[in-house]
Amino acid sequence: MLKILVCVKQIPDVDLVKMDPETGNLIRTGVPTLTNPLDLNALEAAVQVKERYGGEITLITMGPPMAESTLRECLAVGGDKAVLISGRPFGGADTLSTSYSILMAADMEGKFDLIFCGKETLDGATGQMASQLAERFDASQISCCYSIEDISDGKIRATRTLETGRELVEATLPCLITVEKDNFYGRLPSLDDYLAAKKAAVTTYTENDIDGLDLQKIGVPGSGTIVPKIYPPELPEPGQIIRTGSVKTDVARLMELLDEKGAL
Ligand SMILES: Cc1cc2nc3c(=O)[nH]c(=O)nc-3n(C[C@H](O)[C@H](O)[C@H](O)COP(=O)(O)OP(=O)(O)OC[C@H]3O[C@@H](n4cnc5c(N)ncnc54)[C@H](O)[C@@H]3O)c2cc1C
């Protein structure tokens, strides 16, 4: 049986996140959350693999307790087990410590043949996690996967989207895959699956529950980068639209403005 891990992240609705002008920090409190959309494409790819070859899908996320709702959303559309990594010491993590924490928690669930990730998140959007996880899991990696052609004899054959076309590649298992969204649209849950997911068990690992976890490698101490400040980019002066009602006066006004700017 294929053991499949799908990494999903709950993110704030990025359209609604505001910045605190005093501190330069993002204000996440009270902002609605959603499951990172590209992770739903990754999950769809995993579910299609499960439907073709059999297997078990374990969902994993690192985040605050409310990230459990993302796991339940994913359980409703094909996940079998769900793992939440949560606890204060994991907070403030960069990608280095997040990937370490995910590896260590996933190891508690056994060894995985396939690991699926979204290409990037809408909030952090570093796009670093998949490659870091492939390295940590000692897995091969197929990025920009457009279709999965075959999985047999410990190998996976898949096509990748390139700028100029597609290529067929073969990789050995375990393999980490990020998918293109255009071939793996997320599905909607049935009412029964939705209700079952609401009651399903979710395993929560705190820093005390993970065997061999090095506390110096998680959260802030385990992060190789710091973000001293976040600030919006300086925007250029907005342009002016001259619309006086006549082309002649529009042109006259334009010449005036250019003259004022010393551009004539
Ligand atoms: C110095 C620093 C401090 C930070 N502090 C915080 C903080 O305090 N709080 C905070 O929320 N974020 C914080 N972040 C952002 C944090 O690093 C990212 O949320 C996380 O490491 C994933 O990076 P990303 O969102 O860019 O993922 P990407 O690399 O863009 O994501 C690719 C894929 O990886 C998987 N993935 C990503 N994150 C997770 C996750 N958490 N669980 C499961 N799967 C995942 C998903 O499949 C996703 O589609 C910090 C970042 C830095 C650099």
pLDDT tens per residue, range 37-46: 999 999 999 9
Are the C-beta atoms of 86 and 108 separated by less than 8 Å?
no
Are the C-beta atoms of 55 and 181 separated by less than 8 Å?
no
| Residue bearing the bigger pLDDT, 198 or 234 | 198
Q: Could you tell me if 19 and 111 lie in one domain?
A: yes
Q: How far is the CA of 11 from the centre of ligand 1 (A)?
A: 9
Mean pLDDT of the chain: 95
Are the C-beta atoms of 93 and 214 separated by less than 8 Å?
no
Mutate to test the pocket of ligand 1, among 5, 6, 8, 9 (most ligand atoms within 8 A of CB): 9
The pLDDT, as a whole number, for residue 19 is 79
Q: How far is the CA of 18 from the centre of ligand 1 (A)?
A: 18
Q: Could you tell me if 173 and 243 lie in one domain?
A: no
Nearest ligand 1 atom to the CA of 99 is: 21
Query: Per-residue pLDDT tens for 62-97?
Result: 999 999 999 999 999 999 999 999 999 999 999 999
Determine, yes or no, domain membership for 225.
no
Picking from 4, 107, 116, the residue whose alpha carbon sits closest to that of residue 51 is: 4
Q: Could you tell me if 240 and 201 lie in one domain?
A: no
* Domain extent at residue 33: 3-217
Query: Per-residue pLDDT tens for 209-260?
Result: 999 999 999 999 999 998 888 787 888 888 889 999 999 999 999 999 999 9
Q: Could you tell me if 9 and 94 lie in one domain?
A: yes
Mutate to test the pocket of ligand 1, among 126, 133, 178, 217 (most ligand atoms within 8 A of CB): 126
Is 90 exceeded by the pLDDT of residue 26?
no
